[in-house]
Amino acid sequence: MDTNRQFAIITGASTGIGFELAKLCAQNGYDLLVAADDPAIHQAAQSFRALGAGVTVVQADLATIGGVDELYRAAAGRRVDALLANAGHGLGKAFLDQDFDAARHVIDTNITGTIYLIHKVGRDMRTANAGRILITGSIAGFMPGAFQAVYNGTKAFIDSFSFALRNELKDTNVTVTCLMPGPTETEFFERADLMDTKVGVDEKDDPAVVARDGFEAMQAGKADVVSGWKNKIQSSVANVTPNEMLAEQHRKMTEPGSAKNAKKAS
């Protein structure tokens, strides 16, 4: 690897928003350490190499401490200029109907694995007094997520955590940015078993546009970015809407069978 290039770690880089974030990093002069759980990450790495980046790949379950340790070890002590903590997944259906291990995997990936990695890399950045951290939260963090209760809870945690960590680091040259997308056209909905819901079948944002918003906000050291004007309005309205009403609105998007309503309405 050419060590004059900057170095970025991107989690969840095999598909969707993370794939686009990794492409942007490669195009903007970063070497990459990319991670995901499935073998598809190796194929994605080939696309990043084609853009001129040196790429190291880790295939690991980032819901586990061992998986995050393996990823951190793969950086081999190289200074990390940017950490894009993006890996995450959802889980549809009513909480009491969910398999608890699956629900726990959402928490372990979106919260525990994410903040464990940030804890390790963030300490190094603080010591170097340099670095950028981009965390993929969600506008879902502003709403109690009926039929995605655990997922929305994890994103409320992540949105909040991101602003708090940013504040703690305000006297350093380490910046923390929270990317808050709305519904985006990725594998997220299929993986979360949400394809029979309104949000699953509705038109969604382009992951390349969402990633560009996040990357630019990270490079500029901004606190946060809500991607897309509709989502900006929705998140502003959510701030002044009672939680009970928000949960009811969420139900309309994520209740199993609500995909039929989406088709009738269009």
Ligand X SMILES: NC(=O)c1ccc[n+]([C@@H]2O[C@H](COP(=O)([O-])OP(=O)(O)OC[C@H]3O[C@@H](n4cnc5c(N)ncnc54)[C@H](OP(=O)(O)O)[C@@H]3O)[C@@H](O)[C@H]2O)c1
**Residues annotated catalytic, as ranges:** 151
CA atoms within 13 A on the CB side of 147: 22
**Binding of ligand X at residue 227 (CB under 6 A)?**
no
By CB under 6 A, what part of segment 121-140 binds ligand X? 136, 138
**Binding of ligand X at residue 42 (CB under 6 A)?**
no
Among 32, 57, 84, 87, binds ligand X (CB under 6 A): 87
Among 181, 200, 214, 228, binds ligand X (CB under 6 A): 181
Among 22, 36, 169, 178, binds ligand X (CB under 6 A): 36
Give me the residue label for tokens 């009738």. Answer: 264
**Binding of ligand X at residue 235 (CB under 6 A)?**
no
* Rounded Cα–Cα distance for residues 181 and 212 (Å): 11
Output the smallest distance, CB 256 to ligand X, in A: 18
Output the smallest distance, CB 13 to ligand X, in A: 6
What 221-225 contacts at long range (C-beta under 8 Å, 24+ apart), as own/partner pairs, is 221/132, 221/175, 221/177, 222/175, 222/177, 223/163, 223/166, 223/176, 223/177, 223/178, 224/137, 224/159, 224/162, 224/163, 224/177, 224/178, 224/179, 224/180, 225/177, 225/178, 225/179, 225/180
Return the number of the residue (38 or 216) whose C-beta is nearest ligand X: 38
**Binding of ligand X at residue 255 (CB under 6 A)?**
no
The answer to whether the CB of 108 falls within 8 A of the CB of 88 is no
Give me the residue label for tokens 């969604």. Answer: 204
Among 228, 245, 125, residue whose Cα is nearest residue 174: 125
Output the smallest distance, CB 172 to ligand X, in A: 25
Q: Supply 179's token pair.
A: 């990317």
Window contacting ligand X (CB under 6 A); options: 76-84, 168-176, 182-190, 241-249: 182-190
Among 10, 17, 25, 201, binds ligand X (CB under 6 A): 17
**Binding of ligand X at residue 191 (CB under 6 A)?**
yes
**Binding of ligand X at residue 15 (CB under 6 A)?**
yes
CA angle, residues 197, 214, 168, in degrees to nearest 5: 110
**Binding of ligand X at residue 206 (CB under 6 A)?**
no
Task: Name the residues that contact ligand X, by CB under 6 A.
Answer: 12-18, 36-38, 61-63, 86-89, 109, 136, 138, 181, 183-184, 186-188, 191, 207
